[in-house]
Amino acid sequence: MEAIGTGMIALAAGLAVGITGLASALAEKEIGSAAIGAMTEDESLFGKGMILTVLPETIVIFGLVVAILMIFVM
């Protein structure tokens, strides 16, 4: 039973990182292409574009933290 439990934790950790990664990617895809579009019009928008593009990355960081907590704390 112990082994199955460990396996479940590993699986859950993988899902936590994987699904949040997909979510970040989907969000960044749209923002990133819009940001590049805006930057071709006006290069000074780089800063704002970069900030908006990387905002959804927080989702995957949360996923990662949850995964690491699962592996090391549970």
Partner 1 sequence: MLLPESMSRIVIVGARSRMEEAIEALYRLERAHLIDYSSDDEGFSIGAPLPNGSKASERLLKIRAMLNELSIPLRRVSADTPVPSREVRRLIDGGGVEQLDEELFAVLDERNRAIQAIADLEGTISELRPMATLPLTLDLYRGYDSLRPFVGVARQSPVDALSSLEEKELFLADDGHFLALFVRKEDEEEAQKLLSKVGFTEVKIPEGEGSPGDIIDSMEKELLTKQEELETLEKELDNLKEKHTFFIASTEEELAIEVAKAETPLRVATSEYSFVMDAWVPTADLQMSVGMLEQALQGRVSIDVAETRGRLEADEEKADPRFKIPPTKGKNNKLGEKFEYLVSLMSVPRYQETDPAFLMSLFLPMFFGIMLGDIGYALLFMWLGFYGMKNWRSDESRAVASLMFFGGIWGAIFGFFMYGEFLGMHIYADPAVHAPLVDGMAAHWGELLGLNTAFMDGLSLGVSKMHDVTFLLKLGVYIGIAHLFIGLVFGTINVKMQKGTKAAVQEKFSWVLSLLGLTGVSWGLTSVMFYNTPIEGMFLNILAVSAVLLIVGMGLNWPIAGINALLDVPGIVGNILSYTRLAAIAMSKAGMALAFNYMSITMLIVGVGGIGGILGGVFVYLIGHALVWVLALISCGLHGLRLQYVEFMSKFFLGGGDPYQPLQAKRRFTKAIETEV
Does residue number 68 form part of the binding site for partner 1 (CB under 8 A)? yes
Among the listed ranges 5-13, 18-26, 28-36, 54-62, the one in contact with partner 1 (CB under 8 A) is 54-62
User: Binding marks (x or -) toward partner 1, 1..40, rule CB under 8 A?
Assistant: ----------------------------------------
C-alpha separations of 65 from 16, 27, 70 in Å:
9, 19, 9
Least spacing, CB of residue 9 vs partner 1, in Å = 15
Buried b (16+ CB within 10 A) or exposed e, 7-40: eeeeeebeebbeebeeebeebbeebbeebeeeee
